[in-house]
């Protein structure tokens, strides 16, 4: 915070003028990029439909009311499937993520090359959305819950491994040295020196990821990979709006409950 | 340890202490999860003959992935990917513009109870629904194309950005806020001089992070018709043009990695 001496005494300013200019240039570049992006998007927009949107919203909202509560009978199965996709997907992800995390952590990796491969797996699985995984898996194993489960599992490997290997790199090395000094092999060091230190992280990451996966598994049905998304897609396609609003309510409830449960468990662990 | 009884006996074996201390809770968790997994796998109705067919199918799919079809004769892939990138950028900007007032309203220490509850419920709804569901509705309201994707991703951004902004404001240092308040500042001046400087560095970092997330999502909203590369991805899979699928996937992965490193670098530089 510079103070500039003027004829009328010292003047307080928040920033130096160079810094002020840099910030202005940053804003200018940012606004130019945003304006250009806006132009490109608006060129591809049919504005008639956008002007029509408020009417459409009112129309669909009135058609959605009241939610068809009778339809709930047919939704218990899909909700159960959705939760299964999330849970078993998370288990698959954790089972695969823990060894990959050990291979990717600087202090436990057997070789630099192995670390590079493990990091590549982490980045590649993380960058491909679960919907894309589901799209491909539906082709391979056929439509249904299995495709969704594997898709959620694959998508989560990267996210879980990343958090786990960071935890492995931050462990207390003294405990591992103590185990090493007893003459333990490398596997025993990992089992008795490292694993107990990261167990709370493993549990925390698993629950955290499960919460994300419940949300993610509600949409996989759009490409045919099971769960409540199948019903959502079907109801939207036949314009059964009262069923759609019921499904949205169910998703809202499921996600809230899963968030509550995961917050409670994480609170208990940490 | 049996040679002498006069000395105190020490345990000669050691077992790892269990992670969950109470044996009752431990065993009920074990049994509960076993029962759950048995039930879940039983109700999954896996068609094993179809899965067995899937192995050669998967291999043939992988073999068709290589070499990726890079010539992109119709120019649609480049076009779609650029559309996704621009959509992600403008949706991040739009989302942040929407998030700032909602985030201010959702901070417990700035507003009264009713505004707080109202803003929190907007955040809750936006966090609950995945971007794809928002995109389905945006397509119904605004028609096909990237505008729908822009709206969906902007609304999705609120749940992330406004929530973290509100939490950051709630955790800010009170003394700075009070110091500015006692100078007799108006509410806007107070926000501008006491709160904004405290939360700004983190918010710039978060907006770059959100740009990263928005690109990942903008690559798939096309599956429901909301513009971007997703539509071409879906078409290529449905037409069995897996070499094109491979090209699109590689492009998405490369851009995501590039974005992740750039945003990570910029975040370090800003903070």
Give me the pLDDT at residue A1, please.
58
Does the structure show a pLDDT above 60 at B3? no
- Domain membership of residue A253 (yes or no) is yes
- Domain membership of residue B80 (yes or no) is no
- Domain membership of residue B164 (yes or no) is yes
Rounded CA-CA distance B213/B21 in Å is 39
Instruction: Give the bridge partners for A12, in sequence order.
Output: A3
Give me the pLDDT at residue A87, please.
92
Neighbours of B9 (CB within 10 A): 9
- Buried b / exposed e over A35-57, threshold 16 CB at 10 Å, is eebbebbeeebeeebbeebeebe
Does the predicted model carry a pTM greater than 0.80? yes
Cβ contact (<8 Å) for B233 and A145? Answer: no
Rounded CA-CA distance A217/A154 in Å is 13
Distance in Å, alpha carbon of B224 to nearest chain A alpha carbon: 8
Give me the pLDDT at residue A92, please.
93
Lowest mean pLDDT among A228-242, B4-18, B72-86, B256-270: B4-18
Give me the pLDDT at residue A101, please.
92
Rounded CA-CA distance B153/A163 in Å is 26
Kindly state whether residues A246 and A185 are assigned to the same domain. yes
Cβ contact (<8 Å) for A141 and B50? Answer: yes
- Domain membership of residue B33 (yes or no) is no
Give me the pLDDT at residue B203, please.
87
Kindly state whether residues A42 and A165 are assigned to the same domain. no
Residue A33: closest CA among chain B residues belongs to which residue?
B89
Return the CATH number at B141.
Answer: 1.10.3720.10
Rounded CA-CA distance B229/B79 in Å is 8
- Domain membership of residue A10 (yes or no) is yes
- Domain membership of residue A223 (yes or no) is yes
Asked if B103 and B127 touch (Cβ cutoff 8 Å), the reply is no
- Domain membership of residue A241 (yes or no) is yes
Give me the pLDDT at residue A176, please.
87
For residue B199, give its domain range: 86-270
Kindly state whether residues A16 and A94 are assigned to the same domain. no
- Buried b / exposed e over B134-159, threshold 16 CB at 10 Å, is bbbbbbbbbbbbbbbbbbbbbbbbbb
Which residue positions in chain A have pLDDT lower than 50? none
- All residues of chain B having their beta carbon less than 8 Å from the beta carbon of residue A199 are 19
Rounded CA-CA distance B153/A138 in Å is 26
What average pLDDT score do residues B115-133 get? 90
Domain count across chain A: 2
Kindly state whether residues A42 and A144 are assigned to the same domain. no
Kindly state whether residues A169 and A37 are assigned to the same domain. no
- Domain membership of residue B168 (yes or no) is yes
Does the structure show a pLDDT above 50 at B1? no
Kindly state whether residues A25 and A117 are assigned to the same domain. no
Query: How many contacts does A have with B, using Cβ atoms within 8 A?
Result: 154
Kindly state whether residues A25 and A73 are assigned to the same domain. no
- Domain membership of residue B104 (yes or no) is yes
Distance in Å, alpha carbon of A107 to nearest chain B alpha carbon: 23
Render pLDDT for B39-96 as a digit per residue (tens, 0 to 9).
Answer: 888 887 777 787 788 788 888 888 877 777 777 666 778 888 888 999 999 999 999 9
Tokens in use for A119? 């990091």
Give me the pLDDT at residue A11, please.
75
Does the structure show a pLDDT above 60 at B5? no
Give me the pLDDT at residue B135, please.
92
> Which of A57, A216, A248 is closest, CB to CB, to B141?
A57
Render pLDDT for A59-96 as a digit per residue (tens, 0 to 9).
Answer: 888 888 888 888 888 888 889 999 999 999 999 999 99
Give me the pLDDT at residue A47, please.
83
B268 touches chain A (CB under 8 A): no
Distances (CA, A) of A164 to A99, A169, A170, A211, A268: 10, 9, 10, 17, 19
Does the structure show a pLDDT above 60 at B4? no
Cβ contact (<8 Å) for B216 and A219? Answer: no
If one compares A212 and B9, the residue with the highest pLDDT of the two is A212
For residue A252, give its domain range: 69-269
Strands A9-12 and A3-6, by their bridges, are antiparallel
Q: Give pairs for B67-72: CB < 8 Å, separation 24+.
A: B67/B243, B68/B243, B68/B244, B68/B246, B68/B247, B68/B250, B69/B241, B69/B243, B69/B244, B69/B246, B69/B247, B70/B247, B72/B247
- Domain membership of residue B115 (yes or no) is yes
Kindly state whether residues A142 and A43 are assigned to the same domain. no
Give me the pLDDT at residue A157, please.
92
Does the structure show a pLDDT above 60 at B124? yes
Does the structure show a pLDDT above 80 at B216? yes
- Domain membership of residue A52 (yes or no) is no
- Domain membership of residue A56 (yes or no) is no
- Domain membership of residue B95 (yes or no) is yes
Rounded CA-CA distance B79/A40 in Å is 11
Render pLDDT for B95-109 as a digit per residue (tens, 0 to 9).
Answer: 999 999 999 999 888
Cβ contact (<8 Å) for B233 and A34? Answer: no
Domain count across chain B: 1
Rounded CA-CA distance B123/B202 in Å is 19
- All residues of chain A having their beta carbon less than 8 Å from the beta carbon of residue B42 are none
Judge residue B175's burial from the number of C-beta atoms within 10 Å of its C-beta, 0-12 exposed, 13-18 middle, 19 or more buried. exposed
Rounded CA-CA distance A43/A47 in Å is 9
Kindly state whether residues A236 and A198 are assigned to the same domain. yes
- Domain membership of residue B61 (yes or no) is no
- Domain membership of residue A62 (yes or no) is no
Interface residue of A56, A86, A135 to substitute, partner B, most B CBs within 10 Å: A135
Cβ contact (<8 Å) for B89 and A123? Answer: no
Give me the pLDDT at residue A224, please.
87
Return the CATH number at A90.
Answer: 1.10.3720.10
Give me the pLDDT at residue B72, please.
65
Tokens in use for B125? 């709804």
Tokens in use for B12? 């000669």
Interface residue of A130, A142, A211 to substitute, partner B, most B CBs within 10 Å: A142
């Amino acid at each position: 915070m510079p103070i500039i001496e003027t004829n009328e005494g010292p003047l307080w300013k928040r920033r130096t003028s160079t810094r002020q200019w840099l910030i202005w240039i940053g804003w200018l570049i940012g606004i130019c990029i945003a304006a250009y992006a806006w132009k490109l998007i608006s060129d591809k927009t049919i504005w008639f439909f956008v002007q029509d949107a408020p009417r459409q919203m009112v129309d669909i909202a009135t058609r959605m009311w009241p939610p068809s509560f009778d339809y709930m009978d047919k939704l218990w199965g899909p909700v159960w499937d959705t939760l299964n996709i999330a849970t078993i997907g998370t288990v698959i992800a954790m089972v695969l993520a823990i060894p990959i995390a050990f291979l990717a952590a600087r202090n436990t990796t057997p070789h630099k090359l192995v670390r590079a491969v493990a990091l590549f797996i982490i980045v590649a699985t993380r960058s491909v959305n679960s919907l894309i995984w589901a799209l491909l898996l539906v082709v391979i194993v056929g439509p249904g819950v299995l495709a969704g489960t594997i898709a959620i599992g694959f998508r989560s490997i990267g996210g879980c491994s990343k958090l786990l290997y960071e935890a492995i790199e931050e462990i207390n090395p003294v405990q591992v040295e103590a185990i090493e000094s007893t003459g333990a092999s490398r596997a025993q060091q990992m089992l008795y020196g490292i694993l107990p230190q990261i167990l709370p992280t493993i549990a925390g990451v698993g629950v955290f990821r499960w919460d994300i996966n419940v949300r993610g598994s509600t949409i996989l049905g759009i490409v045919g990979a099971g769960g409540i998304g199948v019903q959502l897609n079907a109801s939207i396609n036949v314009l059964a709006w009262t069923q759609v609003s019921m499904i949205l309510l169910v998703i809202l409830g499921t996600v809230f409950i899963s968030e509550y449960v995961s917050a409670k468990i994480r609170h208990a662990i940490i | 340890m049996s040679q002498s009884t006069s000395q105190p006996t020490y345990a000669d074996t050691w077992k790892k202490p269990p992670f969950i201390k109470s044996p009752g809770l431990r065993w009920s968790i074990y049994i509960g999860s076993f029962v759950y997994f048995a039930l879940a796998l039983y109700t999954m109705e896996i068609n094993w003959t179809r899965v067995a067919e899937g192995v050669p199918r998967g291999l043939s799919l992988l073999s068709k992935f290589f070499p990726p079809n890079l010539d992109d004769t119709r120019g649609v892939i480049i076009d779609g990917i650029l559309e996704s990138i621009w959509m992600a950028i403008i949706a991040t900007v739009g989302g942040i513009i929407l998030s700032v007032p909602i985030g201010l309203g959702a901070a417990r220490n700035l507003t009264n109870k009713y505004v707080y509850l109202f803003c929190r419920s907007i955040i809750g709804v936006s966090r609950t629904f995945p971007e794809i569901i928002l995109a389905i509705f945006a397509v119904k309201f605004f028609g096909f194309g990237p505008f729908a994707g822009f709206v969906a991703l902007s609304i999705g951004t609120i749940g992330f950005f406004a929530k973290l902004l509100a939490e950051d404001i709630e955790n800010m240092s009170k003394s700075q806020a009070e110091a500015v308040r006692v100078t007799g500042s108006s509410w806007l001046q107070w926000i501008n001089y006491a709160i904004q400087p405290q939360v700004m560095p983190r918010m710039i970092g978060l907006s770059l992070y959100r740009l990263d997330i928005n690109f990942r999502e903008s690559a798939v909203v096309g599956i429901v018709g909301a513009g971007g590369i997703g539509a071409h991805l879906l078409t290529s899979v449905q037409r069995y043009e897996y070499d094109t699928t491979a090209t699109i996937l590689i492009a998405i992965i490369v851009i995501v990695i590039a974005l992740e490193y750039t945003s990570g670098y910029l975040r370090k530089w800003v903070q």
